[in-house]
Every structure is written in C-alpha cells, then in structure tokens.
Amino acid sequence: MTEVAGAAAGAGKERTRRRREMTVARLARLAGVSAPTVSRVLNGHAGVALSTRQRVEEVIRQHGYRRPEGSERLAVLELVFHALDSPWALEIIRGVEQVARASSLAVVLTEMEGRLTPGKAWTEQVLTRRPTGVIAVFSELTVAQQSQLATRSIPLVVLDPTGEPLHETPSVGATNWTGGLAATRHLIELGHRRIAMLSGPTGWPCIRARLDGYRAAMDAAGLPVDPDLVRVSTLYVEGGLRDGAELLSLPDPPTAVVTANDLQAMGVYLAAHRAGLRIPQDLSVVGFDDLPFASWSVPPLTTVRQPLAQMGAAAAEMVIALGRGEKLRHNRVELATELVVRESTARVAR
C-alpha cells in the first residue's frame, strides 16, 4: 500500500471511529442545547423551535451521526405517492403489499395531493414512527429530508424518480426508452409516417425517456419529427382528450398516436370518437403501462406493458434488505417493458 493510500485508509477509519463515538450528549454540547432537545429532534417530536431544530440537524450532518443500526424500528413500510387517483398507483401498492406481507410488515400510505415533495408534517411523523423503510413513488425528497432519514438509519428507495436521485439513492424503474422505441417502431412497420407523440412532464426522467425512444425510432426510419405532432400533455384522460382533439384538427392530422400512458390513450379514443374517426381504421393508438382496463377498452388497446406490480415488489425488497443492513447488488434496478399488440393499431389507410 502506498503512503497516500495508507493515509486515506487511515483517515476513513478515523472518521468511522468518530461517528461511532458520537453520542446524543456530545451532539447536544456541539449544538449548544440539552440532550433531551437533541432526542426530540432525532425522534421527530414537536416542541423544538425551528432555528434550534435546524442547528441540531446541521451538527448531525456535519459530524456524520447515524443512529445505531440495531435500534428498534416499527414493522411498517412507508409508501409515499404524489397522487393516488390512478389505477397505476394500485398496481404499485399491490406489489409492495405482497412483499411486505411476506415479511410481516404493514404498509402506510401517504398521498401528497399532487405535490412532489412531502411537507414538514410528514417528515416529523416518519421520524417519530421510525419505519423499516420508506418508498417514494413519483416523489422528490429534499436533501435535508434524505439526510434526516439517513441519520436515523431509515432506508429510502425511490420508484420512478421525478428528478435525478440524490446521494446515490437506490431506485427502481422500467426500460422506458425501449418502450417508447418499440411503440413507435410498431407503427412505422404498419406503414405510418405521420406519427404523433403525447408526452407528459418532460422533467421526469421516465417520461423524457419515452419521448426520446419515440424520437430515436423516427430518426432510425429516416422520418422527420413534425413539432406540431409532439405535445406535452397531462397524464390523465382529460389531457389526452384535449391534445388529441387538437392533433386531429390539424390540416394534416396524424394517422397514429403514441401516448405516455394508457389514460392519455383513452382520452385520444374519446377525441377520435367525437371527430367521427374509427380506431384503428382511421387512427392507430398506442398506450403505455398496460393497466387492466387496456384489454377491456373498445377496441382493446395496443400498449407498452410496464411491470408495475413487480416494480413495487422490487422496491419493497430493496428497502427491506437495506433495513437489515445488507448491501444492495445494484443501486438502480430497471425492469423490462414489453409491447402488447391488440386491436387499436392497424396498417395505415392513407
């Protein structure tokens, strides 16, 4: 071992030793508060002034304090959603619940009513409960919130992060780029050239990947992407209806539409019906997710199957393993998507 490597290793051991020696009493002295105040902050209890809480949290972060791994945890998985108004969420919950039940854990659901970041009340409740782990779905925890969970030895896994995960946070997703590519390529093989894309919020990596897959398929086929045919929509039926109607009213409308999810596709179905168009004779439509209603729609929807329940199960398995102190083989897990061809796509009529 070189002198530099030896010095680095020694410094790392010294930092680890100091973290182990850090106690609540020493944290209190460094923050200039009492030991009970530090305990209240660590446990997420109320009754501490905001400025005092921030000072204690800063000392905790600066000195790398971690609650001992063996500390007792509640037999609960915290599952945080930005919204619970879609069958998409139910599939995720089903996968998490199956794994949790097998490990004798309960599941606590929190909906943030469309917000991406949990509020102060949620953070304090989680720190008080000290669950086995937290799974955040389509959510963004702040750097401070992630640090608070880490210092309390509460593991965090993110499912379909809405931004780039911080501090190498373990995450689960699907092969969204491949899904967007397969959906578009399928339509190209059917002879379509005027292919529209209804995207969602492009700031979300999973949605941006689907859009990039669409663009890649068009580029590989030598087909230009008409800017008029690419719309950033909402991930709901209303978005598909509104933007689908606008696309179909263009002087040169598309003969096919790729959507970012199945709900958008249902909106396009309704827009086509109102425009007097038949699916797939006049317009081909491809969804994304393969939610249960996709096979019941009329006609049954061609869509990209995203293994939502398996994604929820994978996130639960990862967070439980972290709670046991195990090291994950991979910090990022991506499950395969699959194009499911049904009756909403056909060869181009014109």
Pair 123, 94 in one domain? yes
Pair 271, 216 in one domain? yes
Pair 161, 181 in one domain? no
Q: Is residue 8 domain-resident? A: yes
Pair 125, 26 in one domain? no
What mean pLDDT do residues 182-190 have? 98
Number of domains within the chain: 3
Pair 232, 323 in one domain? no
Higher pLDDT, 115 or 65: 115
Pair 131, 191 in one domain? no
**pLDDT for 142:** 79
Pair 233, 136 in one domain? no
**pLDDT for 234:** 92
**pLDDT for 37:** 66
The Cα–Cα gap between 62 and 39 comes to 17
The Cα–Cα gap between 35 and 282 comes to 72
What mean pLDDT do residues 255-269 have? 97
Q: Is residue 315 domain-resident? A: yes
Pair 241, 302 in one domain? yes
The residue type at 336: A
**pLDDT for 28:** 64
Last residue of a domain, one of 62, 90, 110: 62
Q: Is residue 235 domain-resident? A: yes
The Cα–Cα gap between 190 and 219 comes to 16
Q: How confident is the model at residue 150 (pLDDT cuts 50, 70, 90)?
A: confident
Q: How confident is the model at residue 340 (pLDDT cuts 50, 70, 90)?
A: very high
Q: Is residue 69 domain-resident? A: no
Pair 180, 298 in one domain? yes
CATH number where 34 lies: 1.10.260.40
Q: Which residues contact 173 (CB under 8 A, 6 or more apart)?
A: 159, 160, 161, 205, 206, 311, 332, 333, 334, 335
Q: Is residue 348 domain-resident? A: no
Of the listed ranges 142-146, 168-172, 187-191, 290-294, the least confidently predicted one is: 142-146
Pair 41, 21 in one domain? yes
Q: Is residue 218 domain-resident? A: yes
Q: How confident is the model at residue 59 (pLDDT cuts 50, 70, 90)?
A: low
Pair 147, 103 in one domain? yes
Q: What is the dihedral of CA 257, 261, 262, 266, to 10 degrees?
A: -50
What mean pLDDT do residues 78-101 have? 89
Q: Is residue 343 domain-resident? A: no
- Residue 25's domain comprises 3-62
What mean pLDDT do residues 112-127 have? 75
CATH number where 203 lies: 3.40.50.2300
Pair 185, 270 in one domain? yes
Q: Is residue 345 domain-resident? A: no
Q: How confident is the model at residue 1 (pLDDT cuts 50, 70, 90)?
A: very low
**pLDDT for 272:** 97
User: What's the chain look like in SS3?
Assistant: CCHHHHHHHHHHHHHHHHHHHCCHHHHHHHHCCCHHHHHHHHCCCCCCCHHHHHHHHHHHHHCCCCCCCCCCCEEEEEEEECCCCCHHHHHHHHHHHHHHHHCCCEEEEEECCCCCCCCHHHHHHHHHHCEEEEEEECCCCCHHHHHHHHHCCCCEEEECCCCCCCCCCCEEEECHHHHHHHHHHHHHHCCCCCEEEEECCCCCHHHHHHHHHHHHHHHHCCCCCCHHHEEECCCCHHHHHHHHHHHHCCCCCCCEEEECCHHHHHHHHHHHHHCCCCCCCCCEEEEEECCHHHHCCCCCCEEEECCHHHHHHHHHHHHHHHHCCCCCCCCEEEECCEEECCCCCCCCCC
pTM of the model: 0.78
The Cα–Cα gap between 120 and 342 comes to 46
Beta-bridge partner residues of 332: 171
